[in-house]
Amino acid sequence: MLGLGASYRRSFWLSLLIHGGVLLLALVSLDTTMHHAFTAQKKPQDNVNIVEAVSVNQADVEKQIQAIKHREEQKRQAVLAKQRAAAKAKREREAEIKRQAELKKQRAREAAARKAAAAKAAAEKKRLAELKKKEEARKQAEAEKQRLAAQEKARKAKAAAEAKRKAELAKQQEAERQKQLAEQKRKDELQKQLQAQLEAEQRARAEARARWLNAEVDKYKGMILRSISQRWLIPDRTNPEQTVRLFIRIGPGGIVLDVRLLSSSGDPVLDRSAIAAVYKAAPLPVPEQDEVFDKFRELDLTMRPESVMNS
């Protein structure tokens, strides 16, 4: 529907209207028609009597006719009476009506007057009532005002009190909270301190262990070096700047599993002396604890004949 142009919409509503109108019209006309038919059926109600054809005696008939004429006369008379009565009634009625009308007028005037008076009274009453009401209202308003004021005051007071109480409470709570916070803080601090202490202790232990480990490593390094040094026969006439580099593999207990030349000094006699020194020093002094010993499984030893201890 959205995409349809305004003209389409207009046509639609128009067609609807037209159809609706036609429909309505049809219904109404139908109804009227029906209504007409209905009323037409109503009118001939008086002439409903069914006439029956029978064989009759003349006398009877004459009787009958006389009866009927009598009746007819009676009827006429009745009718006339009725008409007279009716006319009388009508005149009476009319008079009545007139009287009634007059009465009515009178009454109406009275009523009007009454009404006016009433209205006036009512108005007065109303005015009084209004006034009263106003007064009332004013009083009420006043009272209300006062009441409100009082209420307000009370409310304020209450509020104030409340506020105060609340403030107090809040203060208390605050204090409480602060206290708790402080407490918590203190606890936290304590916790932190403990934690820090714990960590510091752990660190210290770890450091101490590391230091011990290093010390052990250094100690054994020194022992190994001394052990090899004491057995290293430095050949005569070696250049003290020549360097031999050995790779040493050590097994548990310090046994020398393998000694390999990583770099030669260039002098085979010096190289041999270095290798021999390592083998002679076996089993090398190594730590017993696995943790420390593991570091000594492989050694990269540089040997340089800088100085000699005479033995």
Partner 1 sequence: MKNSYIVQKITAILLLCTASFLTVPVQAAISLELTQGIEAAMPIALIPFNYDGMGQDPSGELMPVIKADLQNSGQFKFIDINDMAKFPHTVAEVNLDYWRRLGVDALVIGRIYSSSPGTYQVDVSLVNAFSGDSRFATQSPLLFSKTFTVSQANLRQLAHHISDLVYENLTGIRGIFSTRIAYILEQRPAGKPPVYKLEVADADGYNPQALLVSNQPIMSPSWSPDGKQIAYVSFEKRRAQIYLVDVVTGRRTLVASYPGINGAPAWSPDGKKLAMVLSKDGHPNIYMLDLDTKKLTQLTRSWSIDTEPSWSPDGKSIVFTSDRGGSPQIYQLDVATRAVKRLTFTGNYNAKPAISADGRQLVMMHREGKQFAVAEQNLTNGRVSTLTRGGYAESPSLAPNGTMVLYATDQDGQGILGMSSTDGRVQLKLPAREGDVREPAWSPFAS
Q: Which positions lie near partner 1, rule CB under 8 A?
A: 217, 221, 224-225, 228-237, 247, 256-260, 262, 267-270, 272-273, 275-277, 279-280, 295-311
With a CB cutoff of 8 Å and minimum separation 6, the contacts of 137 are none
145 vs 304, beta carbon nearer partner 1 = 304
Number of other residues whose CB lies within 10 A of the CB of residue 243 = 17
- Residue 90: both structure tokens together: 């009508």
134 vs 272, beta carbon nearer partner 1 = 272
83 vs 239, beta carbon nearer partner 1 = 239
Dist. CA 231–CA 279, nearest whole Å: 9
Dist. CA 76–CA 79, nearest whole Å: 5
Dist. CA 141–CA 147, nearest whole Å: 9
86 vs 300, beta carbon nearer partner 1 = 300
Least Cβ distance, residue 209 to partner 1 (angstroms): 18
- Do the beta carbons of residue 232 and residue 277 sit within 8 Å? yes
Measured at the alpha carbon of residue 112, what is the angle toward residues 110 and 116, in degrees to the nearest 5? 115
254 vs 299, beta carbon nearer partner 1 = 299
Least Cβ distance, residue 205 to partner 1 (angstroms): 24
